[in-house]
Amino acid sequence: MSREALHESLSAVMDNEADELELRRMLAGDNPELRATWSRYQLARAAMHKELIEPRLDIASAVSAALADEAAPVKAQRNGWKGLGRLAVAASVTVAVLAGVRLYNQNEVAGPQLAQQAPQPSISVPQTSQGPAVLAGYSEQTEAPAQAAADGAPVERWHEERLPSYVRQHAQQAAFGNGSESALPYARAASMEER
């Protein structure tokens, strides 16, 4: 039985989405690839919910390393410094833990955006990075791109003048242009109109 499958089943059980029979069935399955894939899905979902199933950063070893580094000077120092030394250890442990959590979350959240490379023009459809962060995701669509277009080189402006229109055309045509009726493409199209 692989570790991943165990994690997956554990998480399903933890999520109250699996019963014992299902757990047994899952563990008895003969498709390790599917199981591995699903385990990754679970992990990503957990990360979205900021629940760590499997801490990827070895915080424990970072903590031991910090303790090891600090242990020697603490011994060499006089009694008066001992307390301070412990404080320093505690502080560096805290930093290690906080930094670890921060990095982990950033990795997960930034994942889908990796494709968006810094020097390339970004599209004016709402991104949280634009405009005041009062309402996350509700950027001021009319002002931000205009400003960016004025600042940006003509090369970038070419895309900024077209991409939002193309994206909306794609979304709206998918939602309303082919006689389907489904709430999901409608919601996608509506999300492109937010401002």
Partner 1 sequence: MRVLPLYVVMGGWLSMPALAADAESWMARLAAAEQKQGFTGTFVYERNGSFSSHAVWQQVEEGQVQERLLQLDGAPAEVLLVDGQMQCATDDLAAQVREAQAWHGQRLDPKALSEWYEFREIGDSRVAGRPAVALAVVPKDQHRYGFELHLDQDTALPLKSLMLNEKGQLLERFQFTQFTAGSVSAEQLKPGADCNPVTVNRREANPTSPWRSDWLPSGFTLLDANERPSPASSETVSWLSYGDGLAKFSVFLEPLRGALVEDARSQMGPTVAVSKRISTADGDVMVTVVGEIPLGTAERVALSMRASSEQAQR
Token pair 């915080």 is at which residue? 59
How far, in Å, CA of 156 to CA of 120, rounded? 8
Contact status, residue 7 vs residue 38, Cβ threshold 8 Å: no
Chain residues 22-41 in contact with partner 1, contact rule CB under 8 A: 22, 24-25, 29-31, 34, 37-38, 40-41
Among the candidate windows 52-60, 65-73, 85-93, 167-175, which touches partner 1 by CB under 8 A?
167-175
Interaction of residue 2 with partner 1, rule CB under 8 A: no
Which sign, positive or negative, has the C-alpha torsion 153, 111, 38, 185? negative
> How many residues sit close enough to partner 1 to count as binding (CB under 8 A)?
77
Tell which positions 111-150 bind partner 1, by CB under 8 A.
111-113, 115-117, 120-123, 125-128, 136-139
SS3 86: helix
> Does 161 engage in binding with partner 1 (CB under 8 A)?
yes
Residue 31: CB minimum distance to partner 1, A = 6
83 binds partner 1 (CB under 8 A): no
- Binding to partner 1 (CB under 8 A) within 42-71 occurs at 42-45, 48
CB 151 within 8 A of CB 139: no
CA dist., res. 121 & res. 15, Å (int): 41
| Residue (48 or 84) nearer to partner 1, CB | 48
Nearest distance from C-beta of residue 102 to partner 1, angstroms: 18
Residue 145: exposed, middle, or buried by beta-carbon count in 10 A (0-12, 13-18, 19+)?
Answer: buried
- From 64-72, 73-81, 98-106, 171-179, give the range in contact with partner 1 by CB under 8 A: 171-179
Residue in the block written with tokens 């959240």: 109
